[in-house]
A and B are shown apart, each in its own frame.
Chain A
Amino acid sequence: QITLKESGPTLVKPTQTLTLTCTFSGFSLSTTGVGVGWIRQPPGKALEWLAVIYWDDDKRYSPSLRYRFNINKDTSKNLVIFTMTNMDPMDTGTYYCARVEITYAGILRQDAFDVWGLGTMVTVSS
């Protein structure tokens, strides 16, 4: 069974850095074609893709916010750490991590975020 779980602070102050951890089980982040991504959702609004890290340590970020993000993995501990600098009240929302698979080198995969964590609510307020 594949599971992911987000953890981190529920409240951060403006200008602070947010650090979230995604702890997962049931798959390996060293498997070709596999990645873990972060997606956020402001209250009452749409999902927004933020970042992803792949099995080969390739890291990709949303172009509009890329300079605020960093993502790293610890394959041996099955976790992904996501940081977001200079937090603003507009960054308030639920942050999800999710497994993503991509077809690579002829290995067919689902090319989608197939398993999601429950999400963690982050409020940015002074």
Chain B
Amino acid sequence: QSALTQPRSVSGSPGQSLTISCIGTNSDVGGYNYVSWYQQYPGKAPKLMIYDVNKRPSGVPDRFSGSKSGDTASLTISGLQAEDEADYYCCSYAGSYSWVFGGGTELTVL
């Protein structure tokens, strides 16, 4: 069970859209529609932003969306805002009631 692969960093200007990828295998991302995404500010606990690949919890702006194709999940943030600058982690169910996280992506708003 290896960590899911995410880009170390991404950046974009306010108003732009950007996408963070999360690459797994057919034993985790590709095998289940149980991918979630978390936003984490420095020194703070992670916050759930997307669950079940593309569902948003109450209170999460609709600028955040998720998708999946094969073994790759993606988080897209449209209309980028300064407050979106944070670390983002993907997570997937990995079968047998276990879980695996991605390596994290640092998002910088230019």
Interface residues of A (CB under 8 A from B): 35, 37, 39, 45-49, 52, 54, 58, 60-64, 96, 98, 100, 102-103, 110-119
Interface residues of B (CB under 8 A from A): 1, 3, 34, 36, 38, 40, 45-48, 51-52, 55, 57, 89, 91, 93, 96-104
Q: Which of A62, A64, A112, A118 contacts B36 (CB 8 A)?
A: A112
Contact B45 A118 (CB under 8 A): yes
Contact A54 B97 (CB under 8 A): yes
Chain B contacts of A111 at CB under 8 A? Answer: 34, 36, 51-52, 93
Chain A contacts of B104 at CB under 8 A? Answer: 45-47
Contact A60 B96 (CB under 8 A): yes
Contact A58 B48 (CB under 8 A): no
Interface centre among B55, B96, B97 (most CB of A within 10 A): B97
Distance in Å: Cβ of B45 to nearest Cβ of chain A: 4
